[in-house]
Structure 1
Amino acid sequence: MTSPLILTLKLDQPTFEQVNALRQQYFPPERNLIPAHITLFHQLPGDREPEISEFLHTLCSQTAKISLSLPELRFLGQGVAIEVHAPQLTELRQTLATTWNEWLTAQDQQGYRSHITIQNKVAAAAARQTYEQLKEQWQPVDGHGEGLLLWYYRGGPWELASEFTFTQN
């Protein structure tokens, strides 16, 4: 059976380093198998990889870098995430969702709210403490998406399948 695929946004290096440092600090180490990321789709069909890759290559060659802001934190109950405000990303994801509608799982068909999870699956009290601590010192961050990353999901750490760079000026 072919491994399912995950699609994420590739962040600019300074933004990635900042949010990944928070993830490394607050995410339970035994569960922190992947770096900080913004997921666009959680499970695309692995047997469609050539078709998906071809479409993403074309799309990204016609797409400029995507501006994004990380204005505030979101309490998740058992974790903490950073809100991502990026209208262009939401539009891009909607284009992909429309194109791939027949392949999408129930999770990927739900409404989309982009975020970066920096803590998850901890006790509610620990999550609340992290949220309150970070909320007091949080400064909004501006950055951009540089492209898309397509990953194989094989039950553990993700394995990079392909990288697509936004090249439109």
Structure 2
Amino acid sequence: MTRGTQPHPLVVTLVLDDDTTARFEAERTALFPAGRTKVGAHLTLFHAVPGERLDLVRAQVAEQARRAPFTLPVTEVMALGKGAAYRLDSPDLVALHADLQRAWWDDLTRQDRQPLRPHVTVQNKVDADVARATVDRLRADFTPFTATGEALAVWRYVGGPWEPVERYAFAPPAP
């Protein structure tokens, strides 16, 4: 639960629909070097919110989940230098991220203060030549498709694997 005297940092992700998650997970299994992936396919919104802010994070993530699920076009394969990812495009997700970013600004790392570039990594930690070949192969077969954002999830980063804290399914407020 803690790292020294500080609680483990929190990771906040967007949960995608089951079919999209299964597709990305199958690609990660095939493309990541053996033993190098500690978590499943995911779209990270925040990488390291201070763990001592858990109560605030849970309350604000729950509030953001008071919305209908929304679509995210998967628009292209992108190169990561030593990996490959799929870019997703969603004004709804960018707005959701910006709301949380404003609320947590003083506690965020430099990485988490950056504008959101939604993507799901399917390969990382390989030689640049291997990554380029993967990107070329994925691009050759790529057809844009649409994913659905179904929930937000909060995790604890425990030095590699993540421990789930809570999942917040999207559900619009009752009229």
Shorter-chain TM-score above 0.5 = yes
What is aligned with 2:99? Answer: 95
Note the alpha carbon deviations across 1:32-75, whole angstroms, 9 max, x for none: 111011000000011110111012112212x1112101111001
Q: SS of the residue aligned with 2:19?
A: helix
| 1:49-128 equivalence runs, <5 A | 49-61=54-66, 63-128=67-132
* 2:160 match: 156
How much has 1:129 moved relative to structure 2? Answer: 0.8
CA contact 2:72–2:90 (8 Å) conserved in 1: yes
SS at match of 2:22: helix
SS in 1 for 2:7: coil
Stretches of structure 2 that go unaligned for 5 or more consecutive residues are: 1-5
Name the residue aligned to 2:19: 14
- The partner residue of 1:30 within 32, 35, 50 is 35
Structure with higher strand content = 2
Identity, % of aligned positions:
37
Q: What is the DSSP-based 3-state SS (H/G/I as helix, E as strand, rest coil) of the residue aligned with 1:71?
A: strand
Matched residues in 1 for 2:24 and 2:153: separation? Answer: 17
Hey, what does 2:7 align to over in structure 1?
2
Residue 52 (structure 2) aligns with: 47
For 2:52, the aligned partner's letter is D
8 Å contact kept, 2:60–2:100: no
Check the 8 A contact 2:64/2:96 in 1, yes or no. no
Distance, in Å, in 1 between the alignment partners of 2:160 and 2:64 is 29
Counterpart amino acid of residue 45 in structure 1: P
How many residue pairs match? The answer is 168
RMSD of equivalent CA atoms: 1.1
4+ runs of 1 displaced by more than 2 Å?
none
Amino acid at match of 2:161: P
TM-score by length of 2: 0.93
Question: TM-score, length-normalised on structure 1?
Answer: 0.96
Match for 2:49: what amino acid?
A: L
Aligned partners of 1:52, 1:122: CA distance in 2, in Å? 34
Cα distance in structure 1, aligned partners of 2:55 and 2:115: 27
